[in-house]
């Protein structure tokens, strides 16, 4: 066999090996595409129902009202079981004491109703009763935990009562006991009795 014939044979073997390799890569890509499952469809965050002018009252085991949530409009989302509210008003009753009334421009309720986020122009008021003075609290965003009867905010807070005005940044409220804890930058002005 001549030298030129060996070169031709070598090039033919190299070409055949290259074609075999390319065919292998193409087939493995095709098999991989067939075996990889398509991505699962994303759940749409779209409302599954809405309520207009609704009123929800939660009661304790004895049938005594504990909380009431009222809003002009509610959208419920099935994918995460949350709700969005327009003009929500939340009332938290306290045994033997004046209730808290809390309102806002917008709201959001978590799945199960454990958390209520009240947003924009939040107005929180404890009614006057049996020697208590009316307490008026204004803030921007307030997270309420109705079952625990607690509320928190990191936003600026303004508290008005007949004795004066208190300003602060951040607040924790124990709605059952009626205690407010101001977290930072507390300033107050009191009128002399």
pLDDT digit string (tens) for the chain, length 193 residues:
566 776 677 777 777 777 777 777 777 776 666 665 666 666 677 778 888 998 988 888 888 888 899 999 999 988 888 899 999 999 988 877 888 899 999 999 998 888 999 999 999 998 777 656 678 999 999 999 988 889 999 999 998 887 889 999 999 999 888 888 888 888 888 776 6
d(CA 83, CA 73): 10
Query: Which tokens belong to 41?
Result: 């469809």
Q: What is the pLDDT of residue 193?
A: 62
Q: What is the pLDDT of residue 131?
A: 59
22: how many CB neighbours lie within 10 A of its CB?
A: 10
Residue 161 CA to chain centroid, in angstroms? Answer: 31
Q: What is the pLDDT of residue 85?
A: 93
d(CA 155, CA 173): 13
What are the two backbone dihedrals, phi and then psi, of residue 178, each rounded to the nearest 5 degrees? 80, 20
Residue that has been written with the tokens 């959001």 in this structure: 108
* 8 A C-beta contact, residue 117 and residue 108: yes
d(CA 170, CA 152): 7
Query: Which tokens belong to 138?
Result: 């204004």
pTM for the predicted model, two decimal places = 0.71
> Among 160, 178, 159, 177, which residue's Cα sits nearest to residue 168?
159
The CATH homologous superfamily to which domain 47-190 belongs is Lipopolysaccharide (LPS) transport protein A like domain (2.60.450.10)
């Amino acid at each position: 066999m001549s030298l030129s014939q060996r070169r031709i044979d070598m090039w033919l073997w190299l070409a055949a090996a290259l074609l075999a390799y390319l065919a292998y890569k193409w087939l493995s890509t095709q098999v991989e595409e067939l075996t990889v499952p398509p991505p699962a469809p994303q759940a749409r965050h779209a409302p599954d129902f809405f309520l207009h002018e609704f009123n929800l009252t939660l009661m304790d085991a004895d049938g005594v009202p504990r909380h009431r949530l009222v809003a002009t409009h509610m959208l419920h989302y099935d994918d995460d079981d949350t709700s969005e509210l327009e003009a929500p008003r939340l009332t938290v009753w306290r045994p033997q004491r004046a209730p808290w009334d809390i309102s806002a421009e917008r709201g959001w309720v978590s799945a199960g109703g454990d958390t209520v986020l009240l947003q924009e122009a939040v107005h929180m008021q404890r009614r006057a009763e049996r020697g208590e003075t009316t307490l008026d609290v204004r803030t921007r965003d307030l997270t309420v935990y109705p079952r625990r009867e607690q509320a928190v905010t990191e936003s600026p807070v303004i508290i008005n009562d007949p004795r004066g005005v208190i300003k602060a940044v951040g607040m924790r409220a124990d709605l059952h006991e009626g205690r407010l804890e101001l977290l930072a930058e507390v300033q107050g002005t009191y009128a002399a009795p």
